[in-house]
Structure 1
């Protein structure tokens, strides 16, 4: 696996884009186009974009001012990896696994993304933080 989270065997098929907070609208448009091109149903795009937006927003507001998105198809799934250079995050368990408190006004992004994707995995370390989501296309 490369540093950006894209498995080496799909490097040629992956599309990548760097982004910052002001780029989020363009990033969502790019991701929607790629998702449709790679087989996502049009009626699934809304949930896909909500999940992507939550993770991408977290990356550029909590991780680092610039982040990278990679998107590719892996069998029956669309895979999206968002990587930022943030290294300070320490967490117990799997982030976004438990719902936020009832009256929460923030801290819901990873939980929402987990609910809308078929799989969400977070890794963090000296090279930054990566959130990888899978969305079944069938």
Structure 2
């Protein structure tokens, strides 16, 4: 079974709300919308976790409820948090990850000389590969 999000627990194969945790989840959402940082939102709510974990928590759609998870957060509040997350990302310039350049155009030299065993032959052939 996959990880159960904070604020929920499994009993007899069904998902239930953990009341003391749901108050913290709601408060984290409210704190963030009110202007607190990710880390400060969780710390003030009594659930100090890293900023990346807070962000993941704020982006989990399960908190607005679905056929499996009971509703913890109002859909309007959830939407406001998503808008605020995007707004803050844009203001810091962190909207896109830098994607590393992966070279896929390779050439193999025509110069080949047989080697004494398969391992040495493979090492030799790999040494002939170059980037176009």
Q: Which interval holds the TM-score relative to the shorter structure? A: under 0.3
Larger radius of gyration: 2
> Normalised by the size of structure 1, how large is the TM-score?
0.23
Q: 1 or 2, which has the higher helix percentage?
A: 2
User: TM-score scaled to structure 2, two decimals?
Assistant: 0.24
